[in-house]
A = this chain, B = another copy of it.
């Protein structure tokens, strides 16, 4: 028998769900899962029987390229608290990418069996969960856009702008310090840059008094400047109107 978790808060993108629907699905999350930074949460091709909701920390979607996937890593998405990390495994049964913990993370799990039982009689809840994955898709499109159209400085600034916006949305506050725990090579993997060039870009952002990234921690000194350098428009995030 799985242990019962404490009630979960309706944070971040979960606010796309109406409160009534949230209270309907929240009790179905019956187990907690912890992963330490660097651990693999799930692997490409592995059949999944449950989906995970991220409560705390950051996870990344990673794809390995090259012959027999032995080459470089690349980060194609980052998830923040309130995101489902695995929800697409419910309809698709299997994922085409790895999921790795960037920071230490805490997640809540719901089995696909129970999900199916609930969704079968709640089409509107189905539609709301579907929406969550569609917002992820919109974010993926933006990552393609970022890597396709922006120069290095703007790319990194834009990634930071997106992440702080999404992290703020999770907490419901606006902060100025964020623990991302990404190494400079990680940022390069996400933005399509070499680690060396990420280092140059971070120095530029620091010298522009825009933001400082050190030891996995992002400190935003001038958010307006960050958004300007990033040409950041959060429309694609489909943030719930407050």
**A interface residues (Cβ-Cβ under 8 A, vs B):** 44, 61, 63, 65-67, 72, 74, 76-77, 88, 90-92, 96-97, 116, 119-121, 123, 126-128, 130-131, 133-138, 140-149, 189-192, 231, 235-236, 238
Contact B65 A147 (CB under 8 A): no
Copy number of this protein in the oligomer? 2
**Partner among B123, B133, B192 whose Cβ is within 8 Å of the Cβ of A148:** B192
Instruction: Tell me if A's interface is mostly helix, strand, loop or mixed.
Output: helix
Contact B91 A145 (CB under 8 A): no
Nearest residue (CB) in B for A154 is: B65
Contact B91 A131 (CB under 8 A): yes
Smallest beta-carbon distance A107→chain B, Å: 20
A140 to B167, CA, bound (A): 22
A128 to B119, CA, bound (A): 13
Contact A63 B141 (CB under 8 A): yes
Contact A76 B192 (CB under 8 A): no
A133 to B135, CA, bound (A): 11
Smallest beta-carbon distance A201→chain B, Å: 15
Contact A141 B61 (CB under 8 A): yes
Smallest beta-carbon distance A132→chain B, Å: 9
